[in-house]
Amino acid sequence: MNDLIVFENVSKFYGEVLGVNRVSLTIPPGITTLVGPNGSGKTTLMNLLTGLVQPSSGSISVMGLSSRDANKFFATVGYCTQFDFFPRDITGWQFLVDSLMLYGMSKLTAIQLAEESLQRVQLDKTAAWRKIDGYSKGMRQKIRLAQAIAHRPRVIVLDEPLNGLDPMARAEAMALFEALGCQGIHLIISSHVLDEVDRIADRVVLITGGYLIAEGNIHQVRQEVREKPMQVLVRCDRPEALASKMFAMNHCVEARLHPDGKGIFLRTGDVDQFYSILNVIATEGIVKIEAVAPADDDANAIYQYLIGSDGGAL
């Protein structure tokens, strides 16, 4: 058994709608984040990986296993989906133990693993005895996560695992992911917020519109992004004057007036220099600056850098 997850020229079409197209990807153990805007194909890629949907063409192998061999495959893989639904009238505890019992283990082992899993996701055992129907969104997320990792899989797939978690729970979840990553297992996490998960990730896979646009070591990809011009929104009383000053100092490659006329989007190739010049302009008092904010520090902007401003350069 090898330790790689391999997508070979995988495409998935839902009728005429593209899910993912010609994805070839090899994922070694460690933490890999799948990043892309909503509808980019992250969930399709994860569903393909775990056999919930079948590829229209191409093949997928997870450590040499196929999802068709359910016994071996799902003993190796755990998937925490983003579907926020559960069987009705069931307690969190029952949900965990029922799931574990299907692995063929004894009830005692199932109970031990369920307890261990609850501890890992920091969900109180008394809460687990309550019906899931009454859980908060964060608790439902935790019990789903507990169920995905309870059987100690070697590949854990987590679709938007931080959704619905409060800041404290997010920090706990991140610590758990980091700990799992240190155990040499595969941890594949999807997120539409790059900065949220890149801190702990070894690798990143950027996907948009069903196409893989970049993958590799997170630092390499971020560097690639950094080399692209960055857009900043400056709220001020005289946007035209500010644009003219910035262009005169050769630090802007693009300017676009904000729709309300009280600000301007400026694109710069050297963001550090840009802020220095902006400070000078503010000190001079030519333009009264009210607020400055990066306009593209999210994943969508990164895609625009990588694939073109219309998002359809591919």
Partner 1 sequence: MMQQADPGLREDLMRQPWALWWLQAKRLTQIELRRNLFSWRASWIYFLAFIPTLIISIHSIVDPHDPTSISDDTQMLASIVHLYYIRLGVFFGCLGIFSRLIRGEMIERSLHFYLLSPVRREVLLLSKFAAGSATALLLFVTATLANVALIYLPFGAAGRDYLFNGPGIEQLEAYVLIIVLACLGYGAVFLLLSMMFKNPTPGALLFLGWEAINPVLPSMLQKLSVASYLRHLMPVNIGVKGLIALLTVETEPVAGWVATLGLLLLITAVLLYSCYRIRTLEIRYTTE
The residues of the shown chain that bind partner 1, judged by CB under 8 A, are: 14, 47, 50-54, 70-75, 79, 81, 83, 85-89, 98-99, 101-104, 147
Instruction: Identify which of residues 53 and 282 has a Cβ nearer to partner 1 in the complex.
Output: 53
Dmax over Cα atoms in the chain, in whole Å? 76
Rounded-to-10 torsion of CA 308, 310, 312, 314: -10
Q: C-beta of 77: minimal distance to partner 1 in Å?
A: 8
Rg over CA atoms, the chain? 23
Give the three-state DSSP class for 180.
Answer: helix
Q: Is 149 exposed, middle or buried (0-12, 13-18, 19+ CB in 10 A)?
A: buried
Q: Is 271 exposed, middle or buried (0-12, 13-18, 19+ CB in 10 A)?
A: middle
Q: C-beta of 151: minimal distance to partner 1 in Å?
A: 8
Instruction: Identify which of residues 61 and 82 has a Cβ nearer to partner 1 in the complex.
Output: 82
Q: C-beta of 188: minimal distance to partner 1 in Å?
A: 14
Instruction: Identify which of residues 20 and 292 has a Cβ nearer to partner 1 in the complex.
Output: 20
Q: What's the rounded Cα separation, in Å, for the pair 183 and 153?
A: 11
Instruction: Identify which of residues 99 and 208 has a Cβ nearer to partner 1 in the complex.
Output: 99
Instruction: Identify which of residues 70 and 257 has a Cβ nearer to partner 1 in the complex.
Output: 70
Q: C-beta of 210: minimal distance to partner 1 in Å?
A: 15
Q: C-beta of 53: minimal distance to partner 1 in Å?
A: 5
